[in-house]
Structure 1
Amino acid sequence: MDAKTIAKAQPLYGQAAVRTTLNELGVAGHLRRVRQSIPPGEGVSGSRWVVHTYWSRTARDNEWWATFLKGDATAETPRATSGAPDSQETDAQEPPEADEDPESSGAVPPRTANSPCLERSSGPSVAYDTLARLGLQEPRLALSAADCAALEQPAADWMARGATPEHITHALVAGLPDHVHSPRAFVQRRLVDKMPPERTVVAPAPGPRRNLLMECTDCGVPGRPEALPGGLCRGCRDRAGSGSEVSGPSVRRPDPTVRELAARVRAGMRVPQRA
């Protein structure tokens, strides 16, 4: 996404106008150019660098872009595609709001699937319904309503440890004897003896640090994010007429001494030379 490539596809504007527009987008916080180091592959030696152009519909400040390069940005992170350099990017979809209705978004409420005992006002729990369906799959384990209510808590403990209704049903009906005299006692014994272990939550290991280096939007000089505020290096900011931020088009103004020299040349040309 450089000025030369865009100017070829835009006949109404040249490279200077496109470069000025890219600089203004970078200063506004929508655009950044980043170099990423690619590790050598099979049969390839040495380091390789791929240039990515990151675009965000939401304007971001310099601190946010610096945090993004460190891999710590969490909200609406722009994506980059690997491959040819100077590839144009689009920003990622925003996550749903925290107060969004679970029914409208298709999400399952927290206490629907793996909840111990729900209130009877909201209907039977998943554990109760799983025990009640045992008789449909295995007539030898048909339970009454009182049996399901008494065994509901052990079945809920299974679900609290990550078991699904299918897992509980398979553990209860597998390897049944020919005759089950007391289905309630048999199911209770299996629920206690085959209780799954408690799962420990293991924090995911931090991923590898990304080797990224920001690049000046105008001239392409690499540097650290704090050295390129607005995506421009110091030389490009000075040419734009400001020491910190670009407030107008990035146009190089002519030196006043050039006009004076040109005026002297024109004045000398008007005076007739003597033979």
Structure 2
Amino acid sequence: MAYENSIAALPALAAHPMAKPGYGKRSAPDQKPPRRGDFDHLPAREAYLAALLDRLCENAAMDAKTLAKAQPLYGQQAVRSALNELGRAGHLRRVRRRIQPEQGGTGTRWVFHTYWSRTARDDEWWARFLDGDVPPETDAAGDVAPHTLHGASADSPQPKPRPTPEPQRPATSAAYNALAQLGLRDPRLALSSADCAALEELAGDWLARGVTAEQLVQIVSAGLPEDVHSPRAFVRRRLVDKLPPERPAVVAQLPRTLMECTDCGVPGRPEALPGGLCRACGCRDGSVTREPTEVRPSAVRARAAQVRAAIRTPQRA
């Protein structure tokens, strides 16, 4: 095959450029181990470049310009077309991920990754991976495939049953813990376990309105009188009187992760980018058939009436 004959032309990767921090190649999880014939289902050009991409290390540059310089057979435009085909075949997706601004910073920062999978995946798998929900692969019998069990093998002996753990004390709520912190902040507000349980619901209303536990402790313990005769009654009064207002509904934010068109880079949800391509790029490459533009009957009748009126109107000499 042309693919097998071109394997010898694969370049050494020691000097392959790395992408900028936050960019470059990322390997998809739960891939099968490499074997001969991994890319036999692809055309020669795509199989050659797939073998090259599979050998690249993490964070390696994956743009068409760099890949065209990294091998001797295909130019930049051919590499771009091959990347599109590898996306359609399920081996590649480009993703942008929104990260929170650093402390004190403003604005939104995005990092860009090109995810590579030696094992071809369908659009549904990539969509679930984008949402952080990728189950391990299963074999025909429904068992988890051996290559998805990290650190285990099919011949490993069955582990011995673990001893039954001792029952643990139920975890206390964040509201209960905040009330318990009041006595540590100021001894005048020391509450018993029963006091914390009785005031837990009131404190929970604060947390439900977006107040953190630290903020609750700070507000309730600020400006204390010299003597607090009944800490429980005093804290209850402050929890009721200083209850913060309900916050307005938060406007929906952009998703933290977006897929990108492999060709033009336009962002979108996975369902809008079948095969990793937007509609415009898919139509240009001939993978998507354009639907004929529908003309409404009312528009046809209106245009016909205009033509008839123009014919009946006498023209001036």
Q: TM-score range by the shorter chain?
A: 0.3 to 0.5
Q: Which protein has the larger Cα radius of gyration, Structure 1 or Structure 2?
A: 1
> Could you state the TM-score of these two structures normalised by the residue count of structure 1?
0.45
